């Protein structure tokens, strides 16, 4: 994507993550922040003056600070848009025009621009502020996450932010291949979140039966979930009759030989007995005993790692691995491009570090830069 210029006027995670994906693939991304900076710059923890969250989401960019609330700042933004290919923005609906970020005014400046909007909710929801957990709640994800007898739980990551950013990046790349002008793309985080329930939505529409919270289990198969051993949890996915027979041959009675458990429907009808018997049997030994035995038998099995264990495994085994951003470890993009390895990004700049250089390249001279700074329009 070399030669592609992207103006990232978004804040927090989802929109900037879309821009970060494009930057990783070679786009020239100019991050336009408010005078005070993206709020992500202040979220702990930090290494020195750089927060880990900002480093993870905003590397490989250039950093410009504009006050878009004033005419001078909006004029500087539109000077940048003249030579840009993409604008990414995520201000709350109804506020775009006041900041010069609406599609109409952006396309008046540059008709060939791809105008990309990341929103939290639907147009009818107005200008509600939107965050990952709020969206998880209204998509039904919170209701379906957690144990049956416990309150709803948030997914243990800002998953909707990140997947929404990926969808926006994909939509931008598709739009760039289209002919014509005034191209507009938009992604709603709520659409993305309910999209993660894809097959569950179809099952509900077909049957009218709502799925229920099941912890690590699933409604369609059992045993398929996390089970305790003597020292740790392991995940078993015996999703077919054959894989269950292999599991039973390793674990033994009462799973082995009980005809009630011979078919998937039978196991679902007796879910409590199946999962209880399996848990009791597994507690006799630790994970190091069971995992190799089940793997050898051809049963899908894995360990439930802590984050520390997962990171160490990733560091040791992943072909993409980790990158270093000014002493902060960040995940490399999970994609292999040919035989090359990802390179460490430079440290993200301070708020407005590249403002003067970027605006000069857009045709704004030093006298105008001085006037903009005196007016508080730039930093």
Q: Is residue 326 part of a domain?
A: no
Q: How much of the chain exceeds pLDDT 90, in percent?
A: 89
Residue 175 and residue 280 share a domain: no
Residues 283-303: tens digit of each pLDDT: 999 999 999 999 999 999 999
Residue 168 and residue 254 share a domain: no
Q: Is 172 exposed, middle or buried (0-12, 13-18, 19+ CB in 10 A)?
A: buried
Range of the domain at 362: 5-196+349-374
Judge whether 7 and 84 are in contact, CB under 8 Å: yes
Short-list 24, 3, 56, CA closest to 335: 24
Q: What is the pTM of this model?
A: 0.92
Q: Is residue 165 part of a domain?
A: yes
- 261 — pLDDT class (breaks 50, 70, 90): very high
Q: Is residue 338 part of a domain?
A: no
Q: Is residue 251 part of a domain?
A: yes
The full DSSP string for 292-350 is HHHHHHT--EEE---HHHHHHHHHHH-SS-EEEETTEEEEPPS---TTPPPPPPPPPPP
Residue 28 and residue 166 share a domain: yes
**If you average pLDDT over residues 147-174, what whole number do you get?**
94
The full DSSP string for 96-159 is TGGGT-SHHHHHHH-TT-EEEEEESS-GGGTT----HHHHHHHHTHHHHSS-TTS-----SS-H
Q: Given a cut of 90, is residue 179 above it in pLDDT?
A: no
Q: Given a cut of 80, is residue 339 above it in pLDDT?
A: no
Domain count for the chain: 2
Q: Is residue 312 part of a domain?
A: no
Judge whether 364 and 77 are in contact, CB under 8 Å: no
Q: Is residue 321 part of a domain?
A: no
- Report the C-alpha gap between 215 and 149 in whole angstroms: 10
Residues 294-330: tens digit of each pLDDT: 999 999 999 999 999 999 999 999 999 999 999 999 9
| Domain harbouring 186, CATH code | 3.40.50.10540
**If you average pLDDT over residues 166-184, what whole number do you get?**
96
Q: Provide the mean pLDDT of the chain.
A: 95
Residue 190 and residue 248 share a domain: no
Q: Is residue 325 part of a domain?
A: no
Residue 51 and residue 156 share a domain: yes
Residue 178 and residue 65 share a domain: yes
Query: Which pLDDT score is estimated for 300?
Result: 96
Residues 237-259: tens digit of each pLDDT: 998 999 999 999 999 999 998 89
Query: Which pLDDT score is estimated for 128?
Result: 87
Residue 16 and residue 118 share a domain: yes
Q: Is residue 258 part of a domain?
A: yes
Of the residues 304, 333, 364, the one at which a domain ends:
304
Residue 80 and residue 162 share a domain: yes
Query: Which pLDDT score is estimated for 137?
Result: 94
| Domain harbouring 294, CATH code | 3.30.1540.10
Q: Max alpha carbon distance in the chain (Å)?
A: 86
Of the residues 251, 269, 304, the one at which a domain ends:
304
**If you average pLDDT over residues 219-237, what whole number do you get?**
94
- Report the C-alpha gap between 114 and 247 in whole angstroms: 53
Residue 121 and residue 260 share a domain: no
- Say which residue, 186 or 219, is predicted with more confidence: 186
Residue 135 and residue 10 share a domain: yes
Residue 184 and residue 247 share a domain: no
Residue 95 and residue 173 share a domain: yes
What is each CA distance from 97 to 66, 92, 104, in whole angstroms? 16, 11, 8
Residues 85-138: tens digit of each pLDDT: 999 999 998 899 999 999 999 999 999 999 999 999 998 888 888 889 999 999
């Amino acid at each position: 994507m070399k030669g592609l210029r992207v103006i990232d006027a978004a804040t927090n995670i989802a929109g900037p993550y879309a821009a970060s994906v494009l930057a990783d693939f070679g786009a020239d991304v100019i991050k336009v922040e408010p005078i005070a900076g993206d709020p992500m710059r202040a979220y702990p923890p930090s290494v020195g003056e750089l927060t880990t969250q900002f480093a993870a989401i905003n590397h490989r960019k250039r950093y410009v600070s504009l006050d878009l609330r004033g005419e001078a700042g909006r004029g500087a933004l539109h000077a940048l848009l003249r030579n840009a290919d993409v604008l990414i923005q995520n201000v709350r609906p109804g506020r775009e025009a006041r900041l010069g970020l609406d599609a109409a005014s952006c396309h008046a400046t540059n008709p060939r621009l791809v105008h990309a909007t990341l929103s939290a909710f639907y147009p009818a929801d107005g200008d509600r502020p939107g965050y990952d957990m709020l969206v998880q709640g209204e998509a039904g994800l919170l209701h379906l996450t957690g144990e049956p007898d416990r309150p709803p739980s948030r997914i243990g990551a800002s998953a909707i932010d990140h997947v929404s950013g990926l969808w926006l990046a994909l939509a931008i790349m598709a739009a760039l291949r289209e002919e014509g002008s005034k191209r507009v793309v938009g992604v709603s985080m709520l659409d993305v979140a309910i999209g993660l329930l894809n097959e569950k939505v179809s099952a509900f529409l077909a049957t009218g039966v709502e799925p229920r919270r099941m912890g690590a289990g699933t409604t369609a198969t059992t045993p398929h979930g996390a089970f305790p051993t003597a020292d740790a949890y392991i995940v078993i996915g015996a999703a077919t009759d054959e894989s269950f027979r292999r599991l039973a041959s390793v674990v033994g009675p009462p799973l082995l030989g009980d005809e009630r458990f011979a078919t998937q429907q039978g196991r679902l009808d007796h879910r409590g007995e199946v999962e209880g018997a399996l848990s009791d049997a597994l507690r006799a030994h630790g994970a190091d005993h069971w995992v190799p035995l089940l793997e050898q038998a051809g049963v899908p099995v894995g360990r439930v790692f802590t984050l520390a264990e997962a990171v160490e495994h990733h560091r040791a085994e992943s072909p993409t691995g980790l990158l270093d951003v000014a002493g902060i470890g960040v995940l490399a993009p999970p994609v292999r491009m040919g035989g090359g390895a990802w390179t460490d990004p430079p440290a993200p700049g301070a708020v407005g570090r590249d403002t003067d250089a970027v605006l000069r390249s857009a045709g704004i001279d030093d006298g105008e830069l001085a006037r903009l700074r005196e007016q508080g329009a730039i930093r």
